[in-house]
Chains A and B, each alone.
Chain A
């Protein structure tokens, strides 16, 4: 607890859009999150870093409502909210792009983007919604818009099957799906882990677009180069607890690596915010 972050003490920090305080999460005997504070503002990319097992994915799943927190408070624009199910989260505009993208490879891009919320034609009220005719054209129009908004230039057709796409394109589609709903917070769990250089570029561009469209972006990654390229601030977790939150412009990759591996108990954390 010695290294508890002083988020409140920052004068440079933008007003938080989503904030959590004092989150605890236990899996049986494993205390995966210990008194974690975290926040992200709109129009900001907040990186979340830490060693393997530090609790990054767990924190993200708590924020997405996939795991219920054992203790802790949630705030949206400073108002307390309850967040205990994925439905709560999407109701609050929080969307997560999982490490496994969970796209249906056998379906085309447009179908994936509207999966579970397919537009149906007007009328046909005598049929249950599940059996009303799909508005396939509306689906394509929406998909086109979502893809254009993220400027995924390499994608030729929204009628292409996902199985034929590259890793970067798939990642972009998974992100587009999260953004397509009325979301204000988009969380990405290691989106570039399996990608090559060019594909990574593409995803980083998409992340930057999300910031420009005034989303609050949470970005988990191991890659310092990527983080220092896209992130505005960096939250470091270690052994399930906060180490510190840094402003990217005021720190260095070396300092972050030291904070990740050793915490703040020595000179490595000189410029913690």
Chain B
């Protein structure tokens, strides 16, 4: 560490990532780069080389953005859950398989006549149990989470095949399908966005006023209003774009609401604090009397819950449950990759659920963009791998006290 006033580029980078919104910068840059490349650079190149007569921004068209968000939603749901165990310094490889089991169970339940809403609740309970079971093995038996959840991945994949011997099941239940199909009317979508932005602004101002009253350090007005403005622009732009194609889908509203709730728990409650404490220094957490084992179990239970919700979202969007869409496919690595690309540290104690959403968009955009350009599955795998590696490298470099440096 350097305390002589001189800052290397790396020091500045670390300092930036430590600020509340600075942690979003790398992933936003990545997203901007990918969108710029697929949305602007490639079409422009095509026009220049005469391959296309006119500039066609297919990637950035409202229709594609809409699909992109929907494609990324399941990844994002799982990534938000996985973020919680990453904060604890653990890993969960079984998220996608848990989602698969829950989706398959959901399909079977509605098939035998259980009402859609009841099936969803049952499946979420099952997800929590599946996660908590692994958490118990990690916290109380002391098996590394990598091993427990690797076993979970295999076991739950098998379980999914047992539930769905044919490997495929259509889900026609109107409640389940409704989650992805129901659209918020254009007008209401904008009203909702407006309300959210105003609430965000009011909360920021109130906090600043309270800080002033208590004589605490103040955030600079530039930062304060910058945050409000950036937040407002993003929210309104997203809703307008979605409205331009169809409308704001209920599924996205649910995803954002769940993430907001979880994000609030993580940053603003004693429980959330204990997640960071256990991930940052378990010994310290233990000495101040935190129940570290229970906290670990609860973290895995949350992954289970989010995986179940991801399963429900997936079943709703596809209208079917298939082995390859969940347990057997690329969802597992995409979800972990999304959390890490978002900027949540694999070393524990650093990260946020919002970053997971952005990370999922990065992964989703890559897949979507490469699909549009007709890239092969092999290309997609290699590019995704490179991006993941880059994200983990940034993570490693921005840890201030890595012994290896």
Contacts and interface: CB of A to CB of B under 8 A. Distances in A.
A, B from the same assembly = yes
Interface stretch (B32-40, B133-141, B281-289, B378-386): B281-289
Interface string B262-283: 0001001111111011011101
B273 A134 contact: yes
Interface stretch (B49-57, B108-116, B208-216, B251-259): B208-216
Interface string B83-115: 000000000000000000000000000000000
Interface stretch (A19-27, A100-108, A184-192): A100-108
B269 A102 contact: no
Interface stretch (A39-47, A155-163, A206-214, A215-223): A155-163
Interface stretch (A4-12, A136-144, A225-233, A241-249): A136-144
B216 A144 contact: yes
A217 to B, nearest CB: 20
Interface stretch (A73-81, A125-133, A250-258, A261-269): A125-133
Contact of B287 (A102, A106, A136, A140): A102
Most B CB atoms within 10 A — which of A105, A106, A129, A141? A106
A132 B400 contact: no
B269 A166 contact: no
Nearest to B347: A106
Contacts of B288: 115-117
A161 B18 contact: yes
Contacts of A129: 270
A132 B216 contact: no
Given A116-B289, A136-B268, A106 B279 contact: yes
Contacts of A51: none
Contact of A131 (B217, B265, B276, B277): B265
A105 B269 contact: no
Contacts of A273: none
A109 B287 CA distance: 17
Given A115-B273, A118-B273, A164 B283 contact: no
A90 to B, nearest CB: 9
A120 B270 CA distance: 8
Interface of A: 86-87, 98, 100, 102-107, 111, 115-118, 120, 129-134, 136-137, 140-141, 144, 157, 159, 161, 163-164, 166
A40 B100 CA distance: 63
Contacts of A137: 207, 210-211, 214, 216
B216 A130 contact: no
7 contacts: A98-B287, A106-B349, A107-B276, A107-B280, A115-B284, A134-B269, A134-B270
A87 B289 CA distance: 9
Tell me if B's interface is mostly helix, strand, loop or mixed: helix
Contacts, number: 90
B1 interface: yes
Given A116-B285, A163-B401, A104 B216 contact: no
B279 to A, nearest CB: 7
Nearest to A156: B217
A102 B284 contact: yes
Nearest to A116: B288
Nearest to A138: B214
Contact of A116 (B1, B210, B216, B290): B290
Given A130-B270, A133-B269, 4 more contacts: A105-B401, A115-B288, A131-B271, A144-B216
B405 interface: no
A71 B349 CA distance: 41
Interface string B305-318: 00000000000000
B345 to A, nearest CB: 8
B15 to A, nearest CB: 8
A156 B336 CA distance: 37
A120 B288 CA distance: 17
Given A134-B269, A140-B216, A141-B214, A102 B1 contact: no
B217 A106 contact: no
A104 B284 contact: yes
A104 B349 CA distance: 9
Nearest to B349: A106
B6 interface: no
Contacts of B217: 157, 159
Contacts of A111: 273, 276
Contacts of B350: 106
